[in-house]
Amino acid sequence: MAQDQRNAGRLPRRRNLLGAGSALAGLAALGILAAGQGAAAQGDVCAGHKGGTMVVTSTQVPRHLNPAVQSGVATAVPGTQIFASPLRFDDDWNAIPYLAEKVDISDDGKTVTIVLRDGVTFHDGKPVTSEDVAFSIQTIKENHPFQTMLAPVESIATPDARTAVLTLSQPHPAIELAMSPALMPILPKHIFGDGQDAKTHPANNAPVGSGPFKLVEFVPAERIVLERNPDFFLDGLPCLDRIVINIVRDSANAVLSLERGEAHMQPFTVNSRDIKRLSEEEHLDVTKKGYAAVGPINWLAFNTRKAPLDNKDVRKAIALAIDRSFITDKLQQGISSPATGPITPDSPFYTAEVELYEKDVDRANAMLDAAGFPKNADDIRFPLTIDYIPGADEQQKNIAEFLKPTLKQIGIDLNVRAAPDFPTWAKRVAGGDFDLSMDIVFNWGDPVIGVHRTYLTDNIKPQIWTNTQGYSNPKVDELLAQAAVELDQDKRKALYREFQQIVVDDIPLYYINLLPYHTVYDKKVGNVPTNIWGTMSPMDEVYLSE
């Protein structure tokens, strides 16, 4: 986002829910124009370059294009071009009004008033109204996998066509980030509100939104073609005429398309060899900015309901046997960095004040001896099986295989079990049919949205990316319940600090590394998205130079 427009549209730091020392009530009387409105008055965001087709390569395969009922990168990247949301965010976690002209939050944090811009229309020409906002929020609340995200919303009133008033059962400091492009797309009620199941609605494959680009073609597992919305509500935007997302399952072909100049951008590039190789190309740039809110962690999950992993000392011994730095420095060529807890360092709620489990094989063996698991004549204490997500070898399979000789040092006979496909792996983990499993899970901005789900006792469910470890600690439940409603930023940080220290000590998960997501792009691309959501946000200001 161009600097002049960022300054014109963002909220002052004191009003930002995530800013140091701020509180939810600070959003009251937010009446600032969004970035991009009146682009000519703010300067030429497109730097004199209008038009052109940007080709994006993606290895992510979307099931459909509606982020209201589906989480994940594959849906969010195209979905945030098609749909608009009440707010968007800059590089520094500052909220910027987007589809909303104004957002008011009451001092007690229990009433949220969204006032829409005047005259905004969907791609089919129908007006965007408060009825659409109310319908969308209810649809997300009922169907999105992140159930904590909008759980406090009790009712939504629509006193006029531009005003939606949310009544919450409790203060909800995550509500601001919940209005992000990838999390709160505003759907047209006249299309999606026909009584069909939102998760399988046919419009999910041919969505109509009010975002900067209109969908003109969706060939599943092949390509997505988006064209400029000539009636977009931000004057002079988008810069591009067209975005083509080519879905390339083979990462080697994706790399070649960038090297040959056949593609202009690839977000969420994660393979260290690819990143190093592409960074050497003169016509390409590589950035790791744009993933702060994503918060991707690669971890080792323990099934705490199964012996011997129900013993905390066993879990700690396994952690002490692992050389985390070898994984990040050698297996991943120094491209990734260590993860130390459930919240990533880019988050305002992160703390480094946790046990790091530095490698100590002697201590690990002593702990297992003391826990009552002696070695037999073959130097084996007990066997375990490890699963991993197929198709992500560097982050999953390679680490799982590395752990086999690693755990042999402490007398654990580790069987590496492959899954033929993702559904098979997901079914095993969701059903509790695992001992250890590699996994990749996102923070999704606010801990209420993406972190709580893994640790709450009442979220132990036979469903992937819930508390599939079966972990339960009443103190953790208490801390997360308090943090979910605390409006004082400093108090909220203190609650999350204690939470992180407890779960790292309880170790239902061993945190390995932060996924090294990078965006690779041709130097012709201007205004590459580097905000906290990166390409999971509107690319209305992206342009192509000659």
Specify the pLDDT at position 250: 84
CA 146 to chain centre: 11
CATH 3.10.105.10 residue ranges for the chain: 296-514
Supply the Cα-derived Rg of the chain in whole angstroms. Answer: 24
> What distance in Å separates the CA atoms of residue 494 and residue 490, rounded to the nearest whole number?
6
Beta strands in 447-508 (DSSP E): none
> What distance in Å separates the CA atoms of residue 338 and residue 114, rounded to the nearest whole number?
40
Q: Compute the average pLDDT of residues 485-490.
A: 96
Specify the pLDDT at position 60: 87
Per-residue pLDDT for 310 more than 90? yes
Tokens describing residue 126: 């129908």
> What distance in Å separates the CA atoms of residue 246 and residue 255, rounded to the nearest whole number?
12
Reported CATH class of domain 296-514 = alpha beta
DSSP label at residue 349: T
Specify the pLDDT at position 12: 33
pTM of the shown model:
0.89
CA 220 to chain centre: 22
- Structural contact between residues 246 and 53, judged by C-beta atoms closer than 8 angstroms: no
Phi and psi angles of residue 479, each rounded to the nearest 5 degrees, phi first: -65, -45
Q: Which of 538, 63, 18, 481 lies closest to 295, judged by CA? A: 18
Phi and psi angles of residue 282, each rounded to the nearest 5 degrees, phi first: -65, -30
Q: What is the pLDDT of residues 316-341, one digit of tens each?
A: 999 999 999 999 999 999 999 999 99
Q: What is the pLDDT of residues 254-280, one digit of tens each?
A: 999 999 999 999 999 999 999 999 999
- H or E segment to which residue 502 belongs: helix 489-506
Specify the pLDDT at position 249: 82
Q: What is the pLDDT of residues 510-533, one digit of tens each?
A: 999 999 999 999 999 999 999 999
Per-residue pLDDT for 8 more than 50? no
- Structural contact between residues 162 and 118, judged by C-beta atoms closer than 8 angstroms: yes
Q: Given the structure tokens 């709450």, which residue do they identify?
A: 456
Per-residue pLDDT for 141 more than 70? yes
Per-residue pLDDT for 5 more than 80? no
CATH 3.40.190.10 residue ranges for the chain: 3-290+518-544
> What distance in Å separates the CA atoms of residue 18 and residue 165, rounded to the nearest whole number?
22
Tokens describing residue 250: 């083979």
Q: Given the structure tokens 């593609």, which residue do they identify?
A: 263
Strand order from edge to edge, sheet including 163-168: 100-105, 111-116, 163-168, 153-160
Q: What is the pLDDT of residues 359-390, one digit of tens each?
A: 999 999 999 999 999 999 999 999 999 999 99
| Band (35; pLDDT cuts 50, 70, 90) | very low
Bridge partners (DSSP) of residue 168 are: 153
Annotate 235-294 with DSSP letters as a single string: TT--S-SEEEEEE-S-HHHHHHHHHTTS-SEEEEE--HHHHHHHHT-TTEEEE--S-TTT
Q: Which of 99, 105, 121, 97 lies closest to 33, judged by CA? A: 97
Q: Which of 179, 200, 227 lies closest to 78, judged by CA? A: 227
Count Cβ atoms below 10 Å from residue 225 Cβ, excluding itself.
18
| Band (24; pLDDT cuts 50, 70, 90) | very low
- What CATH number has the domain spanning 3-290+518-544? 3.40.190.10
- Structural contact between residues 255 and 281, judged by C-beta atoms closer than 8 angstroms: no
